[in-house]
Amino acid sequence: MRASRRTLIVLGAGVAALYLANASWLATAPAEPQARLIAHRGVHQTFNREGLDNETCTAERIFPPTHALLENTLPSMQAAFAAGAAVVELDVHPTTDGHLAVFHDWTVDCRTEGTGVTREHTLAALKALDIGHGYTADGGATFPFRGKGAGPMPSLPEVLEAIPDGRFIVNFKSNEAREADMLATLVADRPEWRAAVWGVYGGDPPTVRTAALLPGVKSWTRSGLKSCLLGYAGLGWSGYVPEACRDTMVMVPINVAPWLWGWPDRFQQRMRDAGSGIILLGAYASGDPGTAGIDTAEDFARVPDSFDGYVWTNRIELVGPLATGR
């Protein structure tokens, strides 16, 4: 009996020590926490994510439109900043004539009347396409943005020229390291645009190369995020922060966050001490290839009041006012 009691005491002490080592309330909370917003694709048409895969044409499953803005266009980005975005995420593709076009899809077939791989076109050919051609909310009965002049597909320089005070995340859509060289050359030619390139992610080779070419740019990779979160889940109870979690941005789904050791304040403090920031995403769902966002009032209510990082949203027009009023 005495041995059993000693064992229970030791186990209880161990559990108590583990709890205290990871207790959020014992961490130093940010003095003035602020949830800053990242507008994914600007203000855009959202869509049903059920059964989504990498081949899904999302333009063919949009919800009934409540506004006339389309993703990755100058008006959508300007509207996102006006709604309270601190950063806007955009997607780039190199063109056959050496430009970086801002467009999401690997091919132009879904959203436009064109065909073929996006990067196998010239910039002029891409600009000639109707980027609102393929959007429908009723299975193809109507196409509310077809021929409505949403604006031509922009190039990255055109975005940076039009929104000089903006901050952007560049999403590389391929594994081609040359895209990093193109971005670095662009910034070298126009040094005033360096501050606008807030972060990069996407394909690992161009992301890693950009970090080397543009020191100080925020960068993160899919493989690095996986290593970070898995490593922290396994050893974070000890206070250990994996190397993959250091000097980067850590993307955390809102439904995964509560399971991280020390969430929210101790986890935040550990990432801060490791030189990293946090981007809070929408709920992770197995099989969903996209990036879910904090897109509703209910989602945003789950963001801790002490959270001092970035919140990823597909509905900046809705979440922006909520963040301002918090």
pLDDT digits (tens, 9 = 90+) for 106-137: 999 999 999 999 999 999 999 999 999 999 99
| Residue-level pLDDT at 18 | 62
Q: Is the dihedral of CA 231, 236, 242, 246 positive or negative?
A: positive
| Residue-level pLDDT at 228 | 97
Question: pLDDT digit string (tens) for 233-245?
Answer: 999 999 999 999 9
| Residue-level pLDDT at 44 | 96
Instruction: Examine the pLDDT at 16 and tell me if it is beyond 60.
Output: no
| Residue-level pLDDT at 118 | 98
Grade residue 14 by pLDDT with cuts at 50, 70 and 90: very low
For the ranges 73-82, 283-292, 313-322, the lowest mean pLDDT is seen at 283-292
| Residue-level pLDDT at 7 | 55
| Residue-level pLDDT at 250 | 98
Residue 36 neighbours by CB distance under 10 Å:
17
Question: pLDDT digit string (tens) for 147-197?
Answer: 987 778 999 999 999 999 999 999 999 999 999 999 999 999 999 999 999
Question: pLDDT digit string (tens) for 25-41?
Answer: 777 777 888 999 999 99
Give residue for tokens 């009041």. 305
Mean of all residue pLDDT scores within the chain? 92
- Which CA distances in Å does 69 have to 39, 66, 75? 13, 9, 7
The structure tokens listed for 196 are 């606008």
Grade residue 290 by pLDDT with cuts at 50, 70 and 90: confident
Distance between CA atoms of residues 149 and 116, nearest Å: 22
Percent of the chain surpassing pLDDT 90 = 83
